[in-house]
Amino acid sequence: MAGRTTLRGSGEKWGYSCVMGQENVESSIYADCNEVIRRELWRDLINLKNTCTGHWLFCGDFNVTRYPTERSTGQRLTGAMSDFTDWINEMELIDPPLFGGLYTWRRGENHSTASRLDRFLYSHHWDDSFPQIRQSLLPRLESDHNPVMLTCGELTLKKSYFKFEHWWMQVEGFREKVKDWWCSFSVNGTPSFILASKLKLLKGKLKQWGYENRVNWKQKKEELLNQIAGLEKIQEQRLLTDDEFLQKVHLSREFDEASRNEEIAWRQRSRIQWLKHGDKNTKYFHRMATAHKRINSIEKLEVNGRELTDTDEIKTEITNFYQKLYRETENWRPGLNLQGSESISLEEKDWLQRQFEEEEVAEGIKLCASDKAPGPDGFPMSFYQNFWEMLKVDIMNTIRQFHDQQEVISNKYGQNSPWVSDMVNIPYGVSVWRTIRNLWGQLQHNIRYKVGIGTRVLFWKDHWIGQDSLMSAYPDIYTLSSSQDATVNEVWSEQGWNFSFRRLLNDWEIGRVAEMLQTLDDFKGTNLEVDVMIWKHNHDGRLSVSRLYNRKVKELPGEISGPWSKVWKNKVPTKVRCFSWLVARRACLTHEKLQRRGFEIASWCSLCNETNETNSHLFLHCKVTAQLWTIFLSRTHTNWTMPEHTADLLSCWVRRGGSKSQKKWWNMIPSCIWWTIWRERNKRCMENTAESVQKIKWRCMKTFCFWCNEEGIEDGWTDF
């Protein structure tokens, strides 16, 4: 195909094929089952990406999963999974959700073993260009793999709703134009009708103006940059004339204005509140807006057990639901007797019922978030804040009408009855990390209940007497019970147990009930105390995260901790332990990592200015960092060769011999050096201030001594 290049690569048992166009690179993957061989593929693809520019799309059989939940066997997180996830992050790819199923590969009798081995991965450009992109599972025929299909969405024509754009406020002459339009409108009627009519007329004017002044920000910035580049080429040959110099200044200002307006526009669409204008996060705002667009898309809806996919049917059902939701279904009202209640004075009543003052309304509008829209008219609060002087007469007249007549809702919605919301029986939901949720069943087996009043303990299903729950101990009797969700309080009375069954019991079933009653003989009855949950594996009955973790570790085969786990045992501040863990995992936002994420910054190390700032260089090999390592190693008479990575250093950072306190301060050394270096690096990058190497050494030693004193390690620095 013209304009496209095919590139292939392979190893012992792996391969890939890339089709390269002018902008996109599509690659099909087959990875080996062997973890070591797969790493060769990951390294080869990373090197290929570093040499080829374009927007990547990967698809194929990767022969590895990312999470334990992607395997039917539910094993723990493995190193191969972590390697795969690290490769995806290194390549800056998106792993989209899979619709239509959980697994793409199955084998064994009745397909007892299943995994998600096949998938699509793509760069952010694909997500930006195709907001409706979707990965779906197709039916499996003869192969043990399901086909996976990637669709980029379809063009859907829908009504365009008006939205007041914040960047319009930056256009020269826009405010004056809006004021001229507003003053030109002449409407007769009630104040609320006048305000609504003027807003509607203004909306029509703004729609037309917005269409005539619509901007393709990317194209406009490219055109401006090309013009600036042309003038710079001329400047290389000769001096610019006065007109050319002024033209270049004007183009630069116009480019800055276009960049600022583009940021404002995408920020408004992203609905991000915690960042301010000028943060230069246009790409982030664009992705958030794309995510909101995807979330707001309703592709199917279940109504009374029936699944709807037709767009018109979905619209009708949603409209009907909310129309019924805000209708009053009953005329009955409960009585309310306020006789004897304390009442407010006439002066307080008059003050509460007084008309709103202009200052109150202006202050209320000022305090509202500018990005929020007050209603479906498309005007955000920033419109009312910026044009308050123009709008205040009509707004205050409408508020006075509301105070005098109190008929705004009836006039607007045509309803004579009050606007009352029905109680809606919708279950509440929570978002739970699936890995934690998978522990619930195991947690249940290790918990028993101490019965107090018995209202929170399920008679059949909870473990409160005997060696297990009664449901597990007597499943045949449980299936006959007509109240399987009953609490202990509901089954027990002072006269004894009160069971209810679905039918009359047979002779052998009566014998089983008698056995269960013998188990219940130890129960002394309910009392007025609160029911208590008890952790079975401790004498005090208390459950903590550490106890649960330690128990789970004992149940798992092999060693699960990596070298970086050592940092959690260090006697240093918690925030330093967290930071040291990031260093060990090479997850700190160094210049190299920021560049890979698309930030246009210099990659030089800010401490030595000699090479790129990578995780290994900054914390191990930089000549400034090396002097800190030399202080500690020379005073302990230790010969040391720095490994390639920080995780390798932790693997071999072991103090042979010595007291417990000596081992404690020895383990604190890497965290102390890394923390000192990172703080100095941030000062140089963000505050443009730098300390001398001698002062950095002094600060590192001071920090180390302070940590030793805080932990009561008396033979810390003095041992040196």
CB distance 668 to 570 below 8 Å: yes
Residues with Cβ within 8 Å of 378's Cβ and at least 6 positions away in sequence, in order, are: 161, 162, 163, 164, 203
Domain harbouring 58, CATH code: 3.60.10.10
**Per-residue confidence (pLDDT) for residue 207, from 0 to 100:** 79
State how many domains the chain has: 5
Range of the domain at 495: 434-535
- DSSP assigned state of 96: P
∠20-24-30 over CA atoms, to 5°?
65
Q: Is residue 359 part of a domain?
A: no
Looking at the fold, whether 641 and 666 belong to one and the same domain comes out as yes
SS3 assignment, position 353: coil
Q: Taken in order 546, 549, 555, 560, is the CA torsion positive or negative?
A: negative
Question: Is 121 a domain residue?
Answer: yes
In this structure, the answer to whether residues 263 and 190 fall within a common structural domain is yes
| CA angle (158 as vertex; 153, 161 as ends), nearest 5 | 125
Residue 363 lies in a domain: no
Query: So what's the pLDDT on residue 520?
Result: 86
Q: Please report, in angstroms and rounded to a whole number, the separation of the first and last CA atoms in the chain.
A: 70
Q: C-alpha distances in angstroms, 354 versus 227, 294, 364, 395, 401?
A: 62, 46, 17, 17, 13
29 forms bridges with which residues in the sheet?
A: 16, 60
> How confident is the model at residue 13, as a pLDDT?
45
Any domain includes 522: yes
pLDDT score recorded for residue 449: 83
Q: Tell whether 569 and 713 lie within a shared domain.
A: yes
Instruction: Report if residue 67 sits inside a domain.
Output: yes
Q: What integer pLDDT is reported at residue 218 of this predicted model?
A: 62
Q: How many CA atoms lie within 13 Å of 595's alpha carbon, on the beta-carbon side?
A: 12
Q: Identity (one letter) of the amino acid at 90?
A: E
Q: 10-residue block means of pLDDT along the chain (720 residues)?
A: 49 54 76 88 84 81 89 82 88 85 81 87 78 82 86 60 71 86 86 86 82 65 75 78 77 72 58 42 47 58 79 81 68 61 80 83 82 65 86 87 60 43 38 57 75 86 84 87 87 84 83 86 80 78 72 59 70 89 89 82 85 91 92 82 85 74 86 94 88 89 84 59
Residues 306, 290 share a domain: no
Q: What is the pTM of this model?
A: 0.34
Nearest by Cα to 62 from 29, 88, 94, 107: 29
Inside any domain, residue 423: no
Per-residue pLDDT of 548-588, as tens digits, reads: 767 766 665 544 556 666 778 788 888 998 999 899 888 89
Say which DSSP state 240 is in. P
Q: Do 630 and 603 belong to one domain?
A: yes
106 and 171 in a common domain = no
Structural domain ending residue among the three candidates 279, 295, 311: 295
Does residue 501 form part of some domain?
Answer: yes
pLDDT at 532: 84
Residues 575 and 672 in one domain: yes
Burial of 578 (0-12, 13-18, 19+ CB in 10 A): exposed
Tell me, what's the pLDDT at 303?
81
The predicted pLDDT at position 121 comes to 92
